[in-house]
Structure 1
Amino acid sequence: MITWLNRLVDHVDAHLTEDLDVDRLAAALGTTKHHLRRMFSTLAGLPLSEYVRRRRMTVAAADVVSGNGDLLGIAVQYGYGSAEAFGRAFRAVHGVTPGQARRDGGPLRSQPRLRFRLTVEGAAPMDVRIVSRPGFRLVGHATRVPLVHHGVNPAIQEHVAALAPQEHRRLKALGDSEPHGLLAVSTDIDPDRTEGTELTYLHGVAVTPDVTVPRDLDVIDVPPGSWAVFRAAGPYPQTLQAVWAATATEWFPSHPWRLRPGPEVVAVLDRADDLSTATVELWLPVEGG
């Protein structure tokens, strides 16, 4: 995985004036667009699209400051249809317009070229199993929330708190399939995992296809497939967020499995009364192996 991430970075720099065809590039690297974008954003700390924009504007700044050609010509060279569109992108990265940069020589912000390296530590073994599941359904109460990378997500906290205690009991009684227990389900996630983008969050349970679902509940149909299941215990949600990061930095680079599109499911197996600590399982849809 580290090898094809570095090949991706090389490709980006070699084709900064062209549109990046992620589908074709992922196929050439022997992976999928979904896995490529998700692993890049997790390991690099920024979405692939944002890295491309920053690198493109870093290199374009040299042409702007050097005075090589008019600004419209530079804009077209880097794939922008107008000087105005190029100016907005340039200002978003550098904080000044191309005209100001040409006149004053800056200030300019540089995005260094990334290079990925794998550091093997092995200090904390990961508790993970691979399971193959037939199709099932996730049912419960869904809402749209912003993606939060660290700490408690206030929108999710508010959504769950608004459910009456008897509703939690009703959901638990309805569940008859693995993953067991009350579930925190995230789906329709931005492929680049950009913080602040919206996703669908469902608080509910897993049921087999033949269960009659009450009409007041939302339903997510999950097709058959393989899942990597990571178990962890500790402060919540910090431990869960640390496990997700570790799947990208430690587990996926050393295994042939790759992420596939689908919901990400958290099963809370045990918890403190105030949910300050918990034992959880993170279910990630995978393929390959």
Structure 2
Amino acid sequence: MEDALEFIESHMEESLNVETIAKAAHSSTFHFQRMFHMWTGITLGEYVRKRKLTLAAQELAVSSAKVVDVALKYGYDSPESFCKAFRKIHGVVPSEARQTGVPLKAFPRVSFQLPTLGSDEVDYYIVEKEAFTVVGKAAELVCGNEGRTRQWFWGECRLDGTFAKLSSLETDTPFLGVTMNFDEQFTYMIAREADAASMADGLAMQTIPSSTWAIFPSIGPLPDAIQNTFRKIYQVWFPATDYEHAGLPEIEMYLSGNAQEEGYRCEAWIPIVKNNANARRYSG
């Protein structure tokens, strides 16, 4: 992860894409983006934008460079798009950054620090599961605190009848939260494991490919318990193992019980593969 950050910092004046950055971290794109978000609380794309606009503001404040040249230098196709992004971060237009006393934002480079040995243990077990189908409702959601989030979508599905439809399916499987296509926006599905014959009007079907799964118990009231479990998976468990996210959907499995009780149990299912790049690096 630190190698990837160094790569980002040394290529700020170039077009940065997630595939190239993930390669610097010896990681798949899905795994890297998910790890980055869990460690920093922001997406990779947002981080790169904020770092570029921090450097752009510094350059405008101390040099006579033209706004259009600075915009092009940091990857903006036009002064208009640069101005819009600059104002969103700094609260002023680029030309105002030259004025004495104008406040600007500085977004620092992040750093990764592994937790102290033994400070946080993670319980898990591994299973193999063949491909299966889930039935439910999906939406395109947004990372972070803006726009449509997981909690918002659970609330919507309670109000629009989706829960009633899922509860009526001829299956005894638990409710699931399925995350797919992780990026700044991602697909999230509230579902149950079932076949196409169980479908109700207004629901969709999704196939979950066969995979090796690491399963993590989560104990405590929602949503804090499951959110803390995912943080531990990415901040503690992945760095402590030679596993990597397989890039397939990941699953929250909500078992029966009162989700607000201290002893409520649910599970996080993470599709995994062995990280051969790390294994070769460590053995070499």
What interval of TM-score do these two structures reach, taking the shorter chain for normalisation? 0.7 to 0.9
After TM superposition, the structure 1 = structure 2 runs for residues 219-258 of structure 1, keeping only pairs within 5 Å, are: 219-258=205-244
Residue identity opposite 1:204 in structure 2: R
Q: Note if contact 1:185-1:263 (Cα within 8 Å) is conserved in structure 2.
A: no
In 2, distance between residues paired with 1:188 and 1:61? 36
Q: Is the 8 A contact 1:57 1:90 kept in 2?
A: yes
SS in 1 for 2:99: helix
CA contact (8 A) 1:145 1:155 kept: no
Q: Is the 8 A contact 1:138 1:219 kept in 2?
A: yes
Match of 2:69 among 62, 70, 73: 73
1:178 maps to none
Provide the rounded CA distance (Å) in 2 between the counterparts of 1:165 and 1:11. Answer: 45
State how far apart, in whole Å, the 1-side matches of 2:153 and 2:92 are.
Answer: 35
Unaligned ranges ≥5, structure 2: 276-284
**Partner amino acid for 2:178?**
S
| Counterparts of 1:153 and 1:131, CA distance in 2 | 28
Determine the C-alpha separation between the residues in 2 that align with 1:55 and 1:234. Answer: 37
| Distance (whole Å) between structure 2 residues aligned to residue 114 and residue 164 of structure 1 | 40
Corresponding position: 1:93 with 2:89: yes
Structure 2 residue 167 is matched with structure 1 residue 136: no
Give aligned pairs, total: 269
State the SS of the aligned residue for 1:8.
helix
User: Do 2:31 and 2:246's aligned partners in 1 also have CA atoms closer than 8 Å?
Assistant: yes
Residue aligned with 2:267, SS: strand
What is the deviation of 1:153?
1.5
Residue in 2 that maps onto 1:153: 151
- The counterpart of 2:26, out of the listed 24, 27, 30, is 30
1:62 Cα deviation after fit: 1.9
- Hey, what does 1:201 align to over in structure 2? 189
Contact 1:145/1:156 (CA < 8 Å) preserved in 2? Answer: no
- Alpha carbons of structure 1 residues 155 and 280: separation in structure 2 relative to 1, 3 Å: same
* 1:46-57 correspondence to structure 2 within 5 Å: 46-57=42-53
Unaligned residue ranges in structure 1 (runs of 5+): 176-180
CA distance in 1, matches of 2:166, 2:89: 46
2:166 and 2:191 in contact (8 A); partners too: no
In the other structure, the counterpart of 2:171 is 174
Q: Distance in 2 between matches of 1:268 and 1:121?
A: 30
Letter in 1 for 2:64: N
Task: Tell me whether 1:8 sits opposite 2:7 in the alignment.
Answer: no
Distance 1:165 1:202 in 2: 9
**What fraction of aligned residue pairs are identical, expressed as a percent?**
27
> What is the SS of the residue equivalent to 1:10?
helix
For residues 20 and 148 of structure 1, do their structure 2 counterparts lie closer, same or farther at Cα, with a shift above 3 Å needed? closer
User: RMSD of the TM alignment (CA)?
Assistant: 2.7
Of residues 84, 92, 114, the one that matches 2:110 is: 114
- Separation in structure 2 between the aligned mates of residue 237 and residue 54 of structure 1, nearest angstrom: 29
Q: Deviations over 1:15-72 (max 9, x none)?
A: 1111113213323432101111110111011111111111111111122012332221
Aligned to 1:218: 204
Q: What is the CA-CA distance between 1:243 and the residue it aligns to?
A: 0.5
Asked if structure 2 preserves the Cα contact closer than 8 Å seen for 1:127 and 1:232, the reply is no
Q: Are 1:35 and 1:260, in contact at CA under 8 Å, matched by a contact in 2?
A: yes
Q: Does 1:268 align with 2:254?
A: yes
Q: Normalising by structure 1, what TM-score?
A: 0.82
Q: C-alpha deviations, 1:69-105, integer Å up to 9, x for none?
A: 2221222222222222221222122111111111235
Contact 2:175 2:255 in 1 (8 A): no
State the AA in 2 paired with 1:30: H
Q: 3-state SS of the aligned residue for 2:109?
A: coil
Q: Is the 8 A contact 2:43 2:143 kept in 1?
A: no
1:230 CA displacement: 0.6
1:59 aligns with 2:88: no
How far the C-alpha of 1:232 sits from its partner, in A, is 1.9
CA distance in 2, matches of 1:20, 1:164: 40
